[in-house]
A and B are shown apart, each in its own frame.
Chain A
């Protein structure tokens, strides 16, 4: 099924590479050049911007190239809680999305194998959120979670939520939104891994005295690890940089601002480009470090 393929499962047998030279070059060149121009160059420009200094007697938003590394100290000093918060929220959302998605992906990938029609339908429903705009579905949740919305009303009616408590604008709603919005990115790679999972391994486990739980931990889960890893990455990375869910216009409020919101504010409201750029570089570096440690430790290094 369509989105299935994005698990980065290590290919079973990477065939012996043959013939080098020109063909490879022609295949690679256009795409890589493209990325060099539209990804690498801006990235370098971004690093340069992050070192700019305000123009003397300049107006708001006017800066000059310089080597003002203090920008980094300043943003880190001012916004380190946001960096931590972003990673905290992203990690929480990733864990929740994983817990939510794995059983679902397992059901679709393994239990529905014999019913291709149902499998395709269920998979479509998983990716259904893709078809409704990210913003619309977040707004929909905002309405569902709002103080006079059905959920709060119901929870309060059953006294599960204090009368003056609310859900929107809280860390809960932000993490909830992040989780919801990235579930398809978590579910699909796991599904792909599980869909390819050879059930004979599971049978062999059972044959070798592993009870179901043990079979799961020692065989099913490790074999679907490539899917889990790529799912968690595809969830964690964008979640850490997201600014929509935590935005005050969507599910967040002033005390839920994430690093993405800080970057957005500096870039869009305060016209403080060096600060925004420095924060971007910090965010990216932090993500790269976290990801490489994670990928190393999970033993799925052939990530892409």
Chain B
């Protein structure tokens, strides 16, 4: 279509004013998504709200029916048999597994991005497989292995199992970070008289840190929340999910809700504090300009 510029100019006078349409554009597009997001987040929180609410239930042995509000469950969490012990075990297992898996996985991630070696494809497959293997298979396979090796199941075997399935997740998480790390930075470090070790600790490591922290958090969460693999490999040791599973058969005590709620609230608090500090720092930085 060809329209003469001149003709178009002539139309200018008849062009209607515009503000009304702009208001509409602001309205639906922007708020529609926000409203959806709020609803979605509320939906995600339903079972959490339920869990928190029932941590205040004045229950007896089962915690299914609302029987009234009480703070007792919170005040005497550890009175209920095994809850706290199970929780303690879970924290211990998750911490140790996380440390080991993060160290092993980070090393692999660095090697994968920065070095070309022959078995690269095989290595990648070996790392992908555990993520592609259903937990029942992992749990059952490892359990059989421990059995035939005559290993006594307990904290040790749980940790061994957890490290196994966390490594891959750590590698994926850290790898993305390593790949986005500009090698020129390490070169600049070397150029500025830093020895290889100094380059690693002063440049590579701090720059990977956010990725490593993310990997560690993920690893912790996966370990802390794992039931299936743990169930196959824990022997007599009770972890928090295992406790919940067993307790589910006879009604979960409100103390379990208390623990779960506490973990949740703590996590939220940590994030908020961290973010507020970061925001404050940003603000401070900004104002020095």
Contact = CB atoms under 8 A, between A and B. Distances in A.
Chains A and B in contact, CB within 8 Å: yes
Interface of A: 1-9, 11-12, 14-15, 17-20, 23-28, 30-32, 34-36, 38-43, 45-46, 49, 100, 103-104, 106-108, 111, 116-117, 120-122, 124-141, 143-144, 180, 183, 192, 212, 230, 233-234, 237-238, 240-244, 249-250, 260, 263-264, 267, 273, 276-277, 280-281, 283-284, 287-288, 291, 303-304
Given A23-B115, A38-B163, A125-B41, A117 B48 contact: no
Nearest to A140: B47
Contacts of A135: 227, 241, 244-245, 248
Nearest to B274: A120
A7 B176 contact: yes
Contact of A291 (B132, B221, B263): B132
B205 interface: no
B179 A280 contact: no
Nearest to B178: A11
A303 B128 CA distance: 8
Given A100-B40, A121-B271, A132-B51, A39 B130 contact: yes
What's the dominant secondary structure at chain A's contact region? helix
Given A103-B40, A135-B241, A287-B133, 19 more contacts: A6-B173, A7-B176, A18-B115, A31-B108, A32-B126, A45-B145, A103-B36, A104-B36, A104-B37, A106-B33, A117-B275, A120-B275, A121-B275, A122-B41, A128-B44, A129-B47, A136-B47, A273-B144, A284-B132
Nearest to A46: B141
B248 A249 contact: yes
B50 A144 contact: yes
A36 B10 CA distance: 78
B46 interface: yes
B221 A131 contact: yes
A136 B256 contact: yes
A32 B129 CA distance: 12
Interface in B16-72: 29-30, 33-34, 36-37, 40-41, 44-48, 50-51, 54, 64
A46 B107 CA distance: 29
Contacts of A45: 141, 144-145, 148
A288 B132 CA distance: 7
Among all A-B residue pairs, the 9 with the closest Cβ atoms: A241-B134, A11-B179, A17-B116, A140-B47, A42-B141, A24-B115, A31-B104, A27-B111, A280-B137
A145 B64 CA distance: 13
Contacts of B198: none
Contacts of A237: 131-134
Contacts of A277: 140-141, 144
B179 A139 contact: no
Given A130-B221, A133-B244, A249 B249 contact: yes
Interface string B241-268: 1001100110010001100110110011
10 contacts: A11-B180, A15-B183, A26-B107, A31-B108, A35-B167, A103-B37, A135-B241, A263-B136, A277-B141, A284-B133
A30 B117 contact: no
Contacts of A49: 144
A24 B117 contact: yes
Contacts of B113: 11, 14-15
B172 A6 contact: yes
Contacts of A3: 214, 217-218, 221
A121 B272 contact: yes
B50 A140 contact: yes
Given A20-B115, A133-B240, A35 B130 contact: yes
B127 A304 contact: yes
B155 interface: no
A100 B40 CA distance: 8
Pick the most buried of A5, A11, A24, A111: most chain B CB atoms within 10 A of its CB: A5
Residue from the set B40, B45, B110, B244 with the largest chain A CB neighbour count within 10 Å: B40
A46 B132 contact: no
Contact of A17 (B45, B115, B278): B115
Contacts of A125: 41, 44-45
B277 to A, nearest CB: 11
B107 A104 contact: no
B262 to A, nearest CB: 10
Nearest to A129: B44
A120 B277 CA distance: 12
B93 interface: no
B136 A260 contact: yes
Contacts of B179: 11-12, 14
A267 B140 contact: yes
A50 B214 CA distance: 38
B214 A5 contact: yes
Nearest to A7: B176
